[in-house]
Chains A and B, each alone.
Chain A
Amino acid sequence: MNRVLMQGDEACAEGAIAAGCNFFAGYPITPATEIAEVMAHRLPQQDGVFIQMEDEIASMAAVIGAAVGGARAMTATSGPGFSLMQENIGYAAMAEIPCVIANVQRLGPSTGRPTSPAQGDVMQARWGTHGDHPIIVLCPSSVRESFDLTVKAFEFSERYRTPVILLLDEIIGHMREGVELPADKTTLNVKREQTLVPPEWYKPFENLATDVPPLIPFGEGYRYHITGLHHDERGYPTDKVDEVEAWTARVYSKIKQALSEVLLYEENGIKQADTLVVAYGISARSARHAVEMARNRGRRVGFLKLQTLWPFPEEVIEQAAERIHRIIVPEMNLGQLALEVERVAGRRKVRRVNRADGEVIKPEQILSAIEGMR
């Protein structure tokens, strides 16, 4: 292990390379540009490809095209670019193309404040593209987690054939921290699933009850069709209700079956607590501090840091909150994930702590919410 000083954006890029990422397409945007810059430098050193496309729509399209060609592919952007990518993220969800999209959140809406942090894209990451589809969204709260969760993002995207979104924010992306990265990164390398069947039997969208059909790259003798239209198991367009229904059921169930692997979180001091703070990303750092201050004042406060935001960890919240009377949800938006917490909170009181002005939530703000709740 060697200790290095690096930015969250850099750690995201290094995590991607450790996971085997060999394709990056992107467009410059604050505060995500550093990811592209590191990739432009590092990818060609490992025979990978970096390309700066003409816009974010093209970037997302190129990522999908490269993934279909067998690459471990990603892009990185921020709010305005993330909005532009939505249609093609939906295509990746529909065609089940593995890919990773890092969104380093800045204050929105619109151009907003490009150099200020925010957590305003939580709902967009889930529902930004039209139509019902599953998605995985991961959210780091430190530089080291930017590395680790990027590796996880590639692992999940390939294993479950789905786009995975990383929600960083301006602070996590730009902040420098001392990190110890694993010396041996070979174990982190993500491989694409293979198939044992010959081309004539291969169904790229097969309705397997318990597994995900592997995506064989173009050019390897398995000639098939991919479309954003609803399609049958072979990938041909369909209008048949039973085939459309089977697709929807399968893509939802493949993620549901994987919840025990996909739901990442850290909990601390929940057993003795009557109050629970649920936080994620940059706000989790303030929340952690607030929890410690409250405990020093004799309060029984549990802490749950979510690293996976979507699929929403309902059961994790339900279990953690078993003996809890009050839940506090600090986030740098006007209450997005709190909506989900409220949905599963039952009769427990939920207090939102919000800020959407480009400034970080202070620990004192969360502390006063803890103390003010009866």
Chain B
Amino acid sequence: MKTQPESKVHERYLRHSKKFPNVWCAGCGIGIVLGAIIRAIDSLSLDKNDVAMISGIGCTGRMPVYVDFNTMHTTHGRAIAFATGLKLARPTMKVIVVMGDGDALAIGGNHFIHAARRNIGLTAIVVNNLTYGMTGGQYSPTTPLGARASTAPYGHIEPSFRIAELAVTAGAPFVARSTVYHVAELQKYIAQAISTQGFSVVEATSYCHTTLGRINRWGRAPDMMRRLKENSVTVQQAEKMSEEEKKAKIIRGILSDRKDIPEYTELYREQIIRQAKGEKA
């Protein structure tokens, strides 16, 4: 691990040509995730030229513009599909896809599960703030049952997706979940995800105090941050809990870490291209 002070680390990765401040509300968790990503990349000593950050639409979608990598802000829900093309064209590149819950799981849900099934070497970081923040607090695929949202004024009647568990089921070899309160843990998981050869997923549980939090009177940013701390348990702790107890908890930890699934671009090179060239010759 580098010993430089944190502010110096960020300075080497933020774009000086980009005008700050950023678009996020004061107290937002997305900046915390960005900080964790930057420190994770720094801890891996990656060359900035070999890193791409791709996003879709929404608050998290605005993340790449601030960092000095190869960055692309794409269309809503399609970041993984854009990143798939880039990864296939540049297999040695570290391609990090940052998305919100609506972006990754609603409009982009199809691409998310297929990238996991295909096991293409991308790192998907999903900032799960349980809502559509940029448009003002509509319900998303992860909005808790019973919560109110601007489009659920009578209470939300849909069960929510568990992002990390969905990724495991769809076949992603590395899946972890943490929160924006547990920053050091989050950074560690992100570094592990980026080091994974195949499709890796980190769910960063966050909150939106200016929309969903306000509508539900969940308090200010510090109150919601405290809830992440108090309402989360580790995978090990969760093992001792009943299904009913677990339902209300955020389960932190590594949910999958498999080495037995070949990565797509590697497999393509080793099997398809080799065979095609053999057939031609």
Contacts and interface: CB of A to CB of B under 8 A. Distances in A.
B273 A47 contact: yes
Given A44-B277, A226-B72, A61 B78 contact: yes
B208 to A, nearest CB: 21
Given A219-B50, A225-B72, A62 B277 contact: no
A313 B105 CA distance: 44
Contacts of B75: 61, 87-88, 91, 228
Contacts of B161: none
B84 interface: yes
A91 B85 contact: no
B234 interface: no
A221 B93 CA distance: 12
Contact of A58 (B18, B78, B93): B78
B57 to A, nearest CB: 8
Contacts of B69: 223
Interface in B1-48: 15, 17-19, 48
Contacts of A91: 74-75
B72 A62 contact: no
B65 A49 contact: no
B163 interface: no
Nearest to A220: B49
A51 B83 CA distance: 13
Interface in B138-156: none
Interface of B is mostly: helix
A57 interface: yes
B256 interface: no
Interface stretch (A63-71, A102-110, A182-190, A329-337): A63-71
Given A58-B111, A223-B68, A226-B72, A65 B85 contact: yes
Nearest to B53: A225
B82 A62 contact: yes
Contacts of B277: 44-45
Contacts of B89: 23, 49, 65-71, 73, 217
B231 interface: no
B218 interface: no
A236 B49 contact: no
B114 interface: yes
A41 B279 CA distance: 10
Contact of A23 (B78, B88, B111): B88
Contact of B86 (A41, A58, A218, A237): A218
B248 interface: no
A225 B64 contact: yes
Q: Of residues B49, B64, B279, which shows the largest number of chain A Cβ atoms within 10 Å of its Cβ? A: B49
B280 interface: yes
B210 interface: no
A14 to B, nearest CB: 15
Contacts of A23: 85, 88-89
Given A218-B93, A236-B18, A228 B70 contact: no
B65 A227 contact: yes
B90 interface: yes
A39 to B, nearest CB: 11
A361 to B, nearest CB: 38
Nearest to A200: B17
Interface in A186-226: 217-221, 223-226
A55 interface: yes
B88 A62 contact: yes
Contacts of B86: 65-66, 68-69, 218
A264 interface: no
B272 interface: yes
A148 to B, nearest CB: 25
B209 interface: no
B110 interface: yes
A66 B88 contact: yes
B280 A58 contact: no
Interface string B55-92: 00000000011001111111100100111111111101
A236 B66 CA distance: 9
B52 interface: yes
Interface string B163-180: 000000000000000000
Interface string A230-247: 000010110000000000
Contact of A44 (B54, B64, B276): B276
Nearest to B73: A227
17 contacts: A23-B85, A23-B89, A45-B276, A45-B279, A58-B114, A59-B81, A61-B78, A63-B85, A65-B81, A68-B89, A70-B90, A91-B75, A217-B90, A218-B72, A219-B49, A219-B92, A221-B49
Going nearest first, the 3 A-B pairs with the smallest beta carbon separation are A65-B85, A69-B89, A62-B85
Interface of B: 15, 17-19, 48-50, 52, 54, 64-65, 68-75, 78, 81-90, 92-93, 110-111, 114, 268, 272-273, 275-277, 279-280
